[in-house]
A and B are shown apart, each in its own frame.
Chain A
């Protein structure tokens, strides 16, 4: 047993932490959020220079061959700074699908570009009415001679407005919700027939609805086997969920640190409000929630790296997400309440952390969704 990060993991964590502390303060973040693209090209190239974009990809393509555990501490730093660049969308989802399911040619065409910071990606999966159900895909892809033709309407595609390439899930056979018949395609965001409805999300990142109208892609755009993509999608979404859990730890750490500091410095009735026992116990419960969340984030990252039994991996990632979602909700709500009116204002980072934690609680499935999946897999 050893819960410490190893030396390489620690070095990476330190360099990411140093960078966000120096260049990704709350004011700097505000400027990025308010900018046209809502994303900083400079931050992205710094991520590339640090090697952050290559951590989970194969060494022969320029990566480090690392796992989720190797990214954990970096994700924490990203979470603490409320980084809005599409790291998870690119490294955790889009490029991950290519790395795990793509052909040698696809990997070669995409991964080095991602690792060097030249290409951003997004995963177009969710649809209206699908909620968090990964099998519920109605978008269609049909073969027309040499090409595939895609039709559909994707929702809440994280990072889509910034992405160069999208990975799109589409049905090549069967009915919506069938396990079989889902395929993955690489689609240029600029391809004819692809249109975006871009927006800023609750946590101030960029996302979009992606409408596909008679979008033609070549046979080489298919990732993996036709109709067999669901297992890969589940594996990669579990992986991204584990990273998201680690990110949540950072955001919770900020919320807890800021609240503790406030309890010590804010005075009412002539004393720091942290002297009121009613508040002390609340603060203690927030810290306990974060510790329990940390344990489950470790578990999730370890399982997505090492668990070969897909069913066990799914069950434990769901367990982690339940705990993380509950902790996000608890910590975020209490952090605002204990800040009083100040917590409600846009001027305070803690309110933005609240928004991020609220979003994380729901991303890739809320507590109820994962409770359901956990219980179903338990029953067998």
Chain B
């Protein structure tokens, strides 16, 4: 047994690390470090920097711009980005729509959409959830009725992340309400957000931020060539995407960065005249998170090694990474807030805000915001259901 990366892998990591250090713009690095809101331009700027370097879509086939890295290299790259604190790559185009098109799309669809996703010309969002269909996605009701060479779509999506920035949305819609199995009447459609009949309404989260939306469809016409895979086979597509190897689910790199920041921040906070890091009760909590994170990193590497050797796509393992990774992210945000003590209680300034300490005031909103991580992308309860069914046979 050898828990370490090989010499080549280490060299690769150093190369990525060096490149990130030289190419991550300082203003973006600072915004991430200070938990500031990122604009669409910020997100796209980073996307294009990576695209120019040829690193924006590592897992794609080489002919479409992929890097040809193996799973370990891809993992290293993603974790290094997290550790460096780069803006996130918005996953909906690069990591969701594109793999679907590569697997199920027609040549014409690939040619039309993939280069634009690669270059950041089209901003995508994901239209799965509906007011009545969250964990139980297969109950979705948004209707698409075929009329000649188009579908007419009516219904509502909710929680659509960054729909207010998006040019396109990929949706699961019901094309046949009469099937015996609910999963069978669902199709996967690509919809232009500029189509008449689409309305986007912001949903403000409890931290005051606007990241999710409701998207309403009123007789929206969608050309049939925007159907992916066969009509009624949308569930197969969705399931493929869920099973699509996502080994960075644990967000180890980003959590390592947060942990380092927490240590630095806590050391600068004073309690009874001494650094918070000298406070036994606080330090124990911090150490526990660090140990949990160390365990998760090694667990993640074990799964990765298994994947590399067997070629078996991960199953319930991803659920484990999601559960532990999100719990760690939440614990870190909570400890940051706790370390700041009373200084984390101001939320937003009144009257100009001269002298308002924005960094400590960002810690409680961040704690609030991170509650989402155990809810979205398959809630942690649903992930536990998956493990108990798939792995344990319960």
Q: Which residues of chain B are within 8 angstroms of A131 by Cβ–Cβ distance?
A: 269-272, 341-342
A126 interface residue (CB < 8 Å to B): yes
Size class of the B contact interface (CB-based, 8 Å): 35 or more
Knowing A197-B356, A368-B281, A371-B281 are in contact, say whether A341-B376 is a contact too (CB < 8 A).
yes
A79 interface residue (CB < 8 Å to B): no
The answer to whether B372 and A198 have CB atoms under 8 Å apart is: no
Q: Which residues of chain B are within 8 angstroms of A267 by Cβ–Cβ distance?
A: 132
B350 interface neighbour in A176, A199, A333, Cβ under 8 Å: A199
The answer to whether A197 and B342 have CB atoms under 8 Å apart is: no
Give the nearest-CB partner of B211 in chain A: A344
Q: Which residues of chain A are within 8 angstroms of B136 by Cβ–Cβ distance?
A: 268-270
Taking beta carbons and an 8 Å cutoff, which residues of B are in contact with A? 129, 132-136, 139, 158-159, 203-206, 208, 212, 269-273, 279, 281-282, 285, 338, 341-351, 353-356, 361, 364-365, 367-368, 371-372, 374-376, 379-381, 384-385
Taking the nearest CB of chain A, how far is it from the CB of B9, in angstroms?
37
Determine the distance from Cα of A73 to Cα of B353 in the docked complex, in whole angstroms.
Answer: 37
- Contact stretch, chosen from A46-54, A238-246, A345-353: A345-353
A341-B376, A354-B368, A355-B206 given; name 9 further pairs at CB < 8 Å. A129-B269, A161-B350, A337-B371, A337-B374, A340-B135, A341-B212, A345-B203, A347-B203, A371-B281
Determine the distance from Cα of A251 to Cα of B212 in the docked complex, in whole angstroms.
Answer: 27
Give the nearest-CB partner of A273 in chain B: B135
Taking beta carbons and an 8 Å cutoff, which residues of A are in contact with B? 38, 126, 128-129, 131-133, 136, 155-156, 161, 176-177, 197-202, 204, 206-207, 209, 267-270, 276, 278-279, 333, 336-337, 340-341, 343-347, 351-352, 354-355, 358-359, 362-363, 366, 368, 371-372
Give the nearest-CB partner of B136 in chain A: A268
Taking the nearest CB of chain B, how far is it from the CB of A242, in angstroms?
19
Q: Which residues of chain A are within 8 angstroms of B371 by Cβ–Cβ distance?
A: 333, 336-337, 343-344, 354
The answer to whether A200 and B341 have CB atoms under 8 Å apart is: no
Determine the distance from Cα of A161 to Cα of B354 in the docked complex, in whole angstroms.
Answer: 15
Determine the distance from Cα of A268 to Cα of B381 in the docked complex, in whole angstroms.
Answer: 13
**CB pairs A–B below 8 angstroms (10 shown):** A128-B343, A129-B270, A198-B350, A202-B364, A269-B139, A351-B368, A354-B206, A362-B338, A362-B341, A363-B345
The answer to whether A362 and B345 have CB atoms under 8 Å apart is: yes
Knowing A336-B371, A358-B367 are in contact, say whether A202-B345 is a contact too (CB < 8 A).
yes
The answer to whether A340 and B341 have CB atoms under 8 Å apart is: no
Taking the nearest CB of chain A, how far is it from the CB of B167, in angstroms?
24
The answer to whether A201 and B341 have CB atoms under 8 Å apart is: no
Knowing A156-B342, A368-B282 are in contact, say whether A345-B204 is a contact too (CB < 8 A).
yes
The 10 closest A-B pairs by CB, nearest first: A351-B206, A268-B136, A129-B270, A368-B281, A131-B341, A346-B204, A198-B350, A199-B346, A156-B342, A202-B364
Knowing A340-B134, A346-B208 are in contact, say whether A366-B338 is a contact too (CB < 8 A).
yes
Q: Which residues of chain A are within 8 angstroms of B158 by Cβ–Cβ distance?
A: 341
Taking the nearest CB of chain B, how far is it from the CB of A319, in angstroms?
16
Q: Which residues of chain B are within 8 angstroms of A371 by Cβ–Cβ distance?
A: 281
Grouping DSSP codes into helix (H, G, I), strand (E, B) and loop, the B interface class, with mixed when no group exceeds half, is mixed
Q: Which residues of chain B are within 8 angstroms of A176 by Cβ–Cβ distance?
A: 273
The answer to whether B347 and A156 have CB atoms under 8 Å apart is: no
Determine the distance from Cα of A353 to Cα of B354 in the docked complex, in whole angstroms.
Answer: 29
Determine the distance from Cα of A209 to Cα of B349 in the docked complex, in whole angstroms.
Answer: 11
The answer to whether A341 and B134 have CB atoms under 8 Å apart is: yes
Q: Which among A128, A267, A371 has the greatest number of chain B C-beta atoms within 10 A?
A: A128
Determine the distance from Cα of A155 to Cα of B273 in the docked complex, in whole angstroms.
Answer: 17
The answer to whether B129 and A359 have CB atoms under 8 Å apart is: no
Q: Which residues of chain A are within 8 angstroms of B375 by Cβ–Cβ distance?
A: 336-337, 340-341, 343-344
The answer to whether B346 and A201 have CB atoms under 8 Å apart is: yes
Q: Which among B273, B350, B371 has the greatest number of chain A C-beta atoms within 10 A?
A: B350
The answer to whether B272 and A345 have CB atoms under 8 Å apart is: no
Taking the nearest CB of chain B, how far is it from the CB of A199, in angstroms?
4
Q: Which residues of chain A are within 8 angstroms of B355 by Cβ–Cβ distance?
A: 197, 209
Give the nearest-CB partner of B369 in chain A: A344
Q: Which residues of chain A are within 8 angstroms of B348 by Cβ–Cβ distance?
A: 199-200
Q: Which residues of chain B are within 8 angstroms of A337 by Cβ–Cβ distance?
A: 371, 374-375, 379-380
The answer to whether B206 and A197 have CB atoms under 8 Å apart is: no
Determine the distance from Cα of A337 to Cα of B368 in the docked complex, in whole angstroms.
Answer: 12
Q: Which residues of chain A are within 8 angstroms of B344 by Cβ–Cβ distance?
A: 202, 362
Knowing A197-B354, A198-B351, A336-B371 are in contact, say whether A278-B381 is a contact too (CB < 8 A).
yes
Q: Which among B135, B361, B367 has the greatest number of chain A C-beta atoms within 10 A?
A: B135
Q: Which residues of chain A are within 8 angstroms of B345 by Cβ–Cβ distance?
A: 156, 201-202, 207, 359, 362-363
Give the nearest-CB partner of A345 in chain B: B203
Q: Which residues of chain A are within 8 angstroms of B139 by Cβ–Cβ distance?
A: 268-270
Determine the distance from Cα of A368 to Cα of B284 in the docked complex, in whole angstroms.
Answer: 11
Q: Which residues of chain B are within 8 angstroms of A351 by Cβ–Cβ distance?
A: 205-206, 368
Determine the distance from Cα of A270 to Cα of B348 in the docked complex, in whole angstroms.
Answer: 42
A199 interface neighbour in B271, B349, B376, B380, Cβ under 8 Å: B349
Q: Which residues of chain A are within 8 angstroms of B385 by Cβ–Cβ distance?
A: 278
Taking the nearest CB of chain A, how far is it from the CB of B324, in angstroms?
16
Determine the distance from Cα of A352 to Cα of B285 in the docked complex, in whole angstroms.
Answer: 27
Give the nearest-CB partner of B159 in chain A: A341
The answer to whether B347 and A202 have CB atoms under 8 Å apart is: yes
Determine the distance from Cα of A129 to Cα of B275 in the docked complex, in whole angstroms.
Answer: 10
Taking the nearest CB of chain B, how far is it from the CB of A38, in angstroms?
8
Knowing A278-B384, A346-B204 are in contact, say whether A198-B376 is a contact too (CB < 8 A).
no
The answer to whether B346 and A207 have CB atoms under 8 Å apart is: yes
Taking the nearest CB of chain A, how far is it from the CB of B121, in angstroms?
30
Give the nearest-CB partner of A268 in chain B: B136
Knowing A129-B270, A341-B159, A355-B206 are in contact, say whether A156-B364 is a contact too (CB < 8 A).
no
Taking the nearest CB of chain B, how far is it from the CB of A345, in angstroms?
6
Taking the nearest CB of chain A, how far is it from the CB of B294, in angstroms?
23
Knowing A197-B349, A346-B204, A347-B203 are in contact, say whether A269-B342 is a contact too (CB < 8 A).
no
The answer to whether B281 and A345 have CB atoms under 8 Å apart is: no
Q: Which residues of chain A are within 8 angstroms of B269 by Cβ–Cβ distance?
A: 129, 131
Q: Which residues of chain A are within 8 angstroms of B279 by Cβ–Cβ distance?
A: 368
Q: Which residues of chain A are within 8 angstroms of B270 by Cβ–Cβ distance?
A: 129, 131
Taking the nearest CB of chain B, how far is it from the CB of A34, in angstroms?
12
Determine the distance from Cα of A270 to Cα of B182 in the docked complex, in whole angstroms.
Answer: 12
Determine the distance from Cα of A202 to Cα of B158 in the docked complex, in whole angstroms.
Answer: 26
Q: Which residues of chain A are within 8 angstroms of B374 by Cβ–Cβ distance?
A: 337
Determine the distance from Cα of A128 to Cα of B360 in the docked complex, in whole angstroms.
Answer: 12
The answer to whether A155 and B342 have CB atoms under 8 Å apart is: yes
Q: Which residues of chain A are within 8 angstroms of B354 by Cβ–Cβ distance?
A: 197
